[in-house]
Structure 1
């Protein structure tokens, strides 16, 4: 029988970027958590590569964006190059929007980095307990808690822990999702990939022709760290046990380079494509790959998971601290599930576009000397110009159903509050945190309403900023802790309880 362990407000299962971000967000709210990870340490594999501009906005709010940027590649690596081999010429190239150069719609800039560089920074973003080598092996829900059984395989012990809520960020093969028999929709497993981590003497060459990814006919080559190291992604061969990984990597480099790959590690993994049927089951909530497995084309998967917990954690905090009703947690699923489906469709479309580029190149090579030396990319701006999907996510009746390409900033309720510079170096996005924010050109007039039972701060807007947001000199915007507009009053409402009534409605508290 497992011995009884302590109680905790939120048990986080999974120590990847999504679980670690949730831990940091809840720590900012003062919510006690325990994160458990079945592996004995953070993953040593590079895995996810792209941190998009919205994730960096969230990390900016957590105060870790500078540290992440310092360990990432310079922004000129925010580009993809298509080549027959690494040492051949580009036959196509494209910059990553929001990575290669700043965009006016955000104070943040996305980066190219490796997941094993990101995770230690996120681990250090909170002083909350983490238990490595602890695997969740059973769970049951009671009236007021989830009872979890954790196995410590190194010590051969089991402990029982009671949590008010359980946040499952335990990957595409989520034990929690399977234990609760939550189904999925989508193609499922769509391929098997092998990552080959290797060294090669390419640093000087790479600096002259920087890219985050080099797509070749022999696989995708990824520079792993600014100081060196490479990864090769190839379809897993049928004879994987006997494969000559060094030879495969060397062929992708090309004979002209004269470089031989020294293989360090090899990892086999499955490309999954699905969305869970539900994101909430009582006191259990799914996030990240446990909720939606997104193919890697376009770098959308991890970033979608980070946005998941940014949406969820303020709601958990409100319920646990008493200023929100428990039904507020239902909005996590209604808001994020459509985003997951839309993101999966985009990633599948990205994958098709990638294959289309290589198909066009193969036709050129078959044509011989008469063929052009470049391929016109078939996607125009659809592959990396995804600000509509990244920054344009909207919740509620105003939710966007577009293709995710175009982003038009708007202060309409449901949308992410647009970035405006309040003062030099301080964005509207920097005004949001562990509170609701009331943005208004008339802070004095709204001050009497601002004395509420919810965490709330009032932030003044200039007349010009107010006009950009569709406000008169006495209007106001109420922004949720996750930066999405909760309500807009173009003019001061006649009812002095409007702000309190709106906060009660947004939080389901009935206060």
Structure 2
């Protein structure tokens, strides 16, 4: 990249070089830190806030994200702090103290699905982040803000401002991973634009305490949508959040009164407000996800409406895709072309996800507005409201498990489908290259997804045929497939699936290798590094 420095980019003193500088200490940045440490990459994470966020912003860890956390050994700790499965449901009411007029399940959250070894959970970001922070030893510096970037082909120099101690420092990194949110400083320094609707509105989150068991304990839900805003229980032991459009006189608002009014006339409780936060609901995708050695992930790359919980989860999938490629570049078993596939693979996913979330958020708002108008006019409202779009919105397995990549990091084969799916609600496991490896039980409690790690995994019913080393620098393990799994994997008795470290299939040989060098050539093509 060419030299570029933002305001306040005083170079100050220079610190030791790191392999990857992570900017942003939310769930996406913290997950990237854990992934890179597991893959042997030295990192430094900087976060301009003084501490982890106390606000319960993201509310859902979906099935695919929990697969990632299972791989990292964190799924049990996250589940232990989350709500039980019966909270994996959405309920629609006029007021929180009223009856349900519609309800929908969060598929993969309310109950296990056979397509995955895990179940997603309803949990709050303030419960997730401490687990992620404790899961790695790499240094984290709170109260440190990135103010400038410069560099060349050999690396990136970041100018940092320390708000705790004062003064500036410079850190040289081989790569920068920017997970610094929708108002990303890094994206602005790069001059990267965005595409999409932009700001959809100004909203306020009010964290409060109130005894609402009479109205909710018997009908639990992760989210209650009402005509007066959205309510969500915070933690299994208590606490609530109310999400609503920001009033015009936000500075002088009576927040306890507004929350109590929104709860409904029968609730009869006065909300005890703990915190108030104003924010903008954004909807956009960055025009590019990378510029040389600087890569964007999470909300820095794409901002999604919060309804449906796809924003954070899409960001977690970003870094799961990106971090193994960074590890390959740092350790020398991948070339620059592999990093270019990050944007090629993740940008289309971001656009499809944005299109779906914006369309269905507008449908949701329309339902709420029409219901509110009925109440305002005093019209009789039906006890039940049919929501034919709710399953399309909340049954997201096709969108989160059905993602298919098309790039130089995938060898599609002659029988590849013309267009990658991953846009519908239904998910059908497939062994086509580019897709997530289907979940199959290799042994009690051990999934095919568990066999994947910081290496390429070759699944085959004939390990002896493929056991010879790939004669190259790539990390590789061979995993035996039982005969019962050859059908779901569409393999003959000597075939094989080559699965990337992110669990997506990179290549397939249905009937076995055409030559002894087939595996080595495939790894070379996928990574851009030729074995000596």
Assess same fold via TM > 0.5.
yes
Contact (CA 8 Å) 1:361, 1:375: kept in 2 or not? no
1:226 maps to 236
Contact (CA 8 Å) 2:160, 2:169: kept in 1 or not? yes
Residue 451 of structure 1, CA deviation: 4.9
1:78 maps to 88
Q: Which digits, 9 at most, give the CA deviation of each residue in 1:28-48, with x for residues without a partner?
A: 011000000011100010001
Pairwise CA RMSD: 1.4
Contact (CA 8 Å) 2:201, 2:281: kept in 1 or not? yes
Q: 2:392 aligns with which of 372, 375, 382?
A: 382
2:218 maps to 208
- Aligned-partner Cα distance in 1 for 2:471–2:105: 48
2:483 maps to 463
- Could you list the structure 1 runs, at least 4 aligned residues long, displaced by more than 6 angstroms after superposition: none
Q: 1:323 aligns with which of 313, 321, 333?
A: 333
1:441 maps to 461
> Residue 217 of structure 2: SS of its match in structure 1?
helix
> Residue 229 of structure 1: SS of its match in structure 2?
strand
Contact (CA 8 Å) 1:325, 1:509: kept in 2 or not? yes
Q: 2:449 aligns with which of 415, 419, 429?
A: 429
> Residue 198 of structure 2: SS of its match in structure 1?
strand
Residues paired across the two proteins, number: 511
**Structure 1's 446 and 126: CA in aligned 2 closer, same or farther, altered over 3 A?**
same
Residue 209 of structure 1, CA deviation: 1.6
- Aligned-partner Cα distance in 2 for 1:378–1:388: 17
Contact (CA 8 Å) 2:402, 2:421: kept in 1 or not? no
- Aligned-partner Cα distance in 2 for 1:184–1:380: 29
Q: 1:133 aligns with which of 138, 143, 158?
A: 143
Residue 449 of structure 1, CA deviation: 4.7
- Aligned-partner Cα distance in 2 for 1:466–1:73: 37
Q: Does 2:153 match 1:143?
A: yes
Q: Does 2:267 match 1:257?
A: yes
Q: 1:12 aligns with which of 22, 41, 44?
A: 22
- Aligned-partner Cα distance in 2 for 1:238–1:359: 19
Q: 1:100 aligns with which of 96, 107, 110?
A: 110
1:493 maps to 513
1:186 maps to 196
Q: What TM-score does the superposition give when structure 2 sets the normalisation length? A: 0.94
Q: What TM-score does the superposition give when structure 1 sets the normalisation length? A: 0.98
- Aligned-partner Cα distance in 2 for 1:359–1:453: 59
Residue 203 of structure 1, CA deviation: 4.1
Q: Which digits, 9 at most, give the CA deviation of each residue in 1:258-317, with x for residues without a partner?
A: 211011110000011110001110110000000001111211000000000000000000
> Residue 182 of structure 1: SS of its match in structure 2?
coil
**Structure 1's 77 and 95: CA in aligned 2 closer, same or farther, altered over 3 A?**
same
- Aligned-partner Cα distance in 1 for 2:451–2:526: 19
Q: Does 2:526 match 1:472?
A: no
- Aligned-partner Cα distance in 1 for 2:186–2:366: 37
Residue 453 of structure 1, CA deviation: 2.4
Q: 2:314 aligns with which of 298, 304, 310?
A: 304
- Aligned-partner Cα distance in 1 for 2:381–2:205: 33
Q: 2:524 aligns with which of 475, 481, 504?
A: 504
Residue 202 of structure 1, CA deviation: 2.2
